[in-house]
Structure 1
């Protein structure tokens, strides 16, 4: 019987791009005793060093185990790590390993991942564009770039118009944000979904004011309008606005997701396979979302292994809205890492039918961009915004 022989975190880096986190990827390579290899992906952001360390520690619970026993290994780490439910680093390490094991199992069976998850509900997955507005600080820039996004074939796009606002928002900042949203709506017309990214930065009063000002522009959803942990703020926002709420990229367990679902505080939930528990955790959240009649839109920002895996997840998710996509706005090396297989048509991508997640990691590209784990400099512009938009 083959066992898990090696689990290695690999940091990849090229150059600064439209967000510093987009310049990095953390892949997690799983190797079995009979030589089979698969990859998962972890979250970089400002946490590269602690995430790499967490992967190495989490690996100790998986080494020597049967790679087929994914659930058993998942719950063994749940048993071992007393703080898993409160540790992003532990959660993303577990998620990446879980992703790799599901891909490994599907490859061994010669089946696409979606077949192991019950079979696909759709041949193509609708996507929305993100990462397209680098450097935009005025309405004209947002409008011009939004037109380019639509010209590529997208009929939904997301953007953050809030500049340097954090927690509260001044009248002048709100005016500038509204002008950007109005310009985008005018540029793309009424048949394109516009999605407003708040990056979980506002208190309840500011978020409510923003929602009311943006109503005329009919955003499909308002993403993370409040700080993630502000449950009371979400209750206030729900009671005072008619906005459709999207959130979930910072959730690290299905039980945490349930807190928002059971109170009706989310309309479009956005689990991220890289920190919700990989395939195992994602499927639990998708099932909960269906039970609460909530749409699912997987958060999908970090890299190509995550993208390919979440295309598979999206294919089997009953209440799917769309999959987030930075794919066309990443540096080229990230697409080359998996052979650049995804082509947009009618704002959707085809679900690969090959074994596992349907793509293979190019080892030459991986070795070319392999980097030593290191700290990321902290500057005035946070790493979580699209570069050049913090004004």
Structure 2
């Protein structure tokens, strides 16, 4: 069997699908994308694709090494995201050839269903009432884990009022859903090393599930200092690429939960390796996924077969397309806050290729940019 063709599709709202075709007619799908840089990743996919056209798609690790190490410059968000989506598609092909889901080839299942956590951000910087209403709706749907972001923009050293405003909002949220529901907080790297310990100190009594990216992830020592300053579990990893980048986080005990993104970190097998590394440090995995249904499908394979799994992120769009509605012949279904372990071969879905035509766009989605009101300086998103 040989790889003969690469095809990419930019799909609304901000996704990039990849289809790899073999000379035996078996096709695999992946989702290589960087939010706001879709067309750049698309070009990288086709550049890397030229390296492995004609190769056997079954040799996944060899092809990964070839794409990653086959040039002088390695790593980074763009290259690793392109490799990730290609690698997902190769696993999809392999699973279809052998007639089994990817999780079965990685050792079998560790659970029968996969716990999901839901975003509760109905609007940017929601009011207390809007936030609590959204949370109660998700709980009514059966979710036992939620996530909400801290509001923006924030100053390097911000006011007491800013801290109190957010803490009071989270306190109201905790009151609204009770003590049986886990609530994670995404600091999104928006909070400075000066302010993160202050926010964490004030939030501790409301028992967050974890604080995600309390500071920017580039400085692991800084994150480790934040982790030592609070009893709240720290999560990070969506902006880290390859198992090598996670090594320092684990060695310096900078996080209790790792969040590799399977469309950025190197793909399915890289995440499997990261999970194995993390298990040695009693650290769990909660894969990052604000993307589309192929990224979700890849996450579900890993969620099924690793023992140290916490919960799976999913954005849950109103039209259900993030679960594959319309795009897949059979969409994933969330029941009482869980998805059953997928049993179909490969990544567990069949793409409705006629339907994806209705979602195609030019790939021009870009991340929002925030500014401080008083001086119009750029704030972290």
TM-score (norm 1): 0.90
Change (3 A) 1:166 1:48: farther
Q: Quick one: which of 237, 252, 267 aligns to 2:256?
A: 267
Determine if the alignment matches structure 1 residue 332 to structure 2 residue 341: no
Looking at structure 2, the residues matched to 84 and 57 of structure 1 have their Cα atoms a distance apart, in angstroms, of 14
Counterpart of 2:22?
32
Q: What pairs with 1:1-391 in structure 2 (closer than 5 Å)?
A: 2-13=1-12, 23-85=13-75, 87-130=76-119, 132-165=121-154, 167-326=156-315, 328-329=316-317, 331-334=319-322, 335-336=324-325, 337-339=327-329, 341-374=331-364, 376=366, 379-380=369-370
Shift of 1:136: 4.7
- 1:251-302 CA deviation, whole Å, 9 max, x = no partner? 1110110110011111000111111111121111011011111011011111
Question: CA 1:339–1:166 in 2, change beyond 3 Å: closer, same or farther?
Answer: farther
User: Partners in 2 of 1:380 and 1:362 — Cα distance?
Assistant: 37
Following superposition, the deviation at residue 130 of structure 1 comes to 1.6
User: CA separation of 1:11/1:146 partners in 2, compared to 1, >3 Å: closer, same or farther?
Assistant: same
| Separation in 2, partners of 1:128, 1:201 | 21
Distance 2:365 2:212 in 1: 28
Structure 2 segments unaligned to the other structure (5+ residues): 373-379
For 1:62 and 1:131, the matched residues in 2 are separated by 41
**CA offsets, 1:154-202, max 9 Å, x none?**
0110001323225443322222211221111011000000101111122
TM-score in terms of structure 2 length: 0.93
Query: How many Å separate the matches in 1 of 2:174 and 2:329?
Result: 35
In structure 1, how many angstroms separate the alpha carbons of the residues matched to 2:369 and 2:196?
Answer: 25
8 A Cα contact 2:68 2:83, kept in partner: no
CA 1:377/1:139 → structure 2, altered by over 3 Å: closer, same or farther? closer
Partners in 2 of 1:6 and 1:177 — Cα distance? 50
What do residues 65-103 of structure 1 show as CA deviations (whole Å, max 9, x unaligned)?
A: 001111111111122132222x21000000000000001
Cα distance, 1:106 vs structure 2? 0.4
Change (3 A) 1:200 1:100: same
Q: Distance in 1 between matches of 2:153 and 2:9?
A: 33
Change in 2 beyond 3 A, CA 1:330/1:308: farther
**CA-CA distance at 1:233 after TM superposition:** 1.6
CA distance in 2, matches of 1:145, 1:381: 27
The whole-number CA distance in structure 2 between the counterparts of 1:300 and 1:114 is: 18
Helix, strand or coil at the partner of 2:52: coil
Q: CA contact under 8 A between 2:121 and 2:149: conserved in structure 1?
A: no
Give the Cα–Cα distance (whole angstroms) in 1 for the partners of residues 43 and 227 of structure 2: 39
Partner Cα distance (1:127, 1:139) in 2: 24
Q: What is the aligned residue count?
A: 372
Q: CA deviation at 1:381?
A: 7.8
Q: Distance in 1 between matches of 2:82 and 2:139?
A: 36
Worse-superposed segment, 163-172 or 181-190:
163-172
From the superposition, tell whether residues 72 and 58 of structure 1 become closer, same or farther in structure 2 (CA, over 3 Å): same
Asked whether the equivalents of residues 333 and 365 of structure 1 are also in contact (C-alpha less than 8 Å), the reply is: no
Q: Identify unmatched segments of 5+ residues in structure 1.
A: 14-22, 383-389
1:375 Cα deviation from its structure 2 partner: 6.1
Asked whether the equivalents of residues 300 and 324 of structure 1 are also in contact (C-alpha less than 8 Å), the reply is yes
C-alpha separation in 2, matches of 1:168 and 1:246:
22
1:166 and 1:227 map into 2 onto residues whose CA distance is 14
Tell me, in whole angstroms, the C-alpha distance in 1 between the residues paired with 2:155 and 2:329. 39
